[in-house]
Amino acid sequence: MKLVLHIGLALSLMLPQAWASHYLSFSNADGYAVEMDVVTIERGSSEDWYQWIGSVRAHLPGSNDRIDITNGVRVEAYEWGRRIILRYNGSDPRIPTFHLIVFDSRASLHFPDKAIHGEFTWLM
């Protein structure tokens, strides 16, 4: 029994640890919103880690739904606290194709026919 516990403990220390560490959001006064959850993987030490955007939800004015669009999103750039560039391919017909460009706390959401400007929040 002790051997099993020791093996389990050793494996848990060797495997990378992952957690959803940040919540990111774009919003503006007109009701447009894009929300993202960031996943962090730690590989051994606290200085050896990487992040990726794990899920993305969108909200349009006049809707009560936050729609999961994760499968239609391609992240082109991601630097924590500095910038994000992502594109959504329109795979869910309720949300039109768009790209989101973030620099610091400024962001713009670009649809084929218009651009929406708003605030971006980097929360831990």
Whether 6 is in a domain gets the answer no
Task: State the residue for tokens 């007109």.
Answer: 30
Number of domains in the chain: 1
Whether 5 is in a domain gets the answer no
Predicted pLDDT of residue 87: 96
Domain residue limits at 112: 16-123
Predicted pLDDT of residue 8: 41
Whether 3 is in a domain gets the answer no
Give just the sign of the alpha carbon dihedral 86, 67, 32, 34. negative
Whether 73 is in a domain gets the answer yes
Predicted pLDDT of residue 99: 95
Mean pLDDT by 10 residues, the chain (124 residues): 43 46 82 88 65 86 91 90 93 94 94 93 78
